[in-house]
Amino acid sequence: MSADAPALRARGLTVEFGGVPALADVDLEVPRGRSVAVLGPNGAGKSTLFGAAVGLFDPSAGSVELGSSRVAFVPQHLDVDPTFPVTVADVVLMGRYGDLGWVRRPSREDRELVEEGMKALGISSLARRRFGSLSGGERQRALLAQAVAQDAEIVLLDEPLTGVDAPTQEAIRALLERWREAGRTVIVATHDLGAATRDYELVLCLNRRVVAFGPAATTCTEEVLYETFAGRIVRVGSLMVDVSEHHEIH
78-120: per-residue pLDDT in tens?
666 667 788 999 999 988 876 555 556 778 888 899 999 999 8
The C-alpha angle 201, 206, 208, rounded to 5 degrees, equals 155
Asked if 8 and 66 sit in the same domain, the reply is yes
31 and 145, same structural domain? no
| Residue numbers of the domain that contains 124 | 78-151
Strands (E) across the chain are located at: 8-17, 20-30, 35-39, 61-66, 71-74, 154-158, 185-190, 202-206, 210-214, 233-236, 239-242, 247-249
Choose the most confident range, by mean pLDDT, from 102-106, 125-129, 232-236.
Answer: 125-129
Count of domains for the chain: 2
What CA–CA distance (Å, rounded) separates 90 from 184? Answer: 25
Please indicate, yes or no, whether residues 26 and 145 belong to a single structural domain of this protein. Answer: no
> 14 and 121: one domain?
no
pLDDT, one tens digit per residue, over 28-53 is 999 999 999 999 988 899 999 999 99
Same domain, 37 and 20: yes
Same domain as 29, residue 64: yes
Is the domain of 140 the same as that of 83? yes
Task: Output the pTM of the full model.
Answer: 0.85
- Whether 175 is in a domain gets the answer no
Q: What is the DSSP string of 113-179?
A: HHHHHHHHTT-GGGTTSBGGGS-HHHHHHHHHHHHHHHT-SEEEEESTTTT--HHHHHHHHHHHHHH
Q: Tell me, what amino acid is at 1?
A: M
Residues 187 and 131 in one domain: no
Q: Is residue 88 domain-shared with residue 64, that is, in the same domain?
A: no
71-74: strand order across its sheet? 71-74, 154-158, 185-190, 35-39, 202-206, 210-214
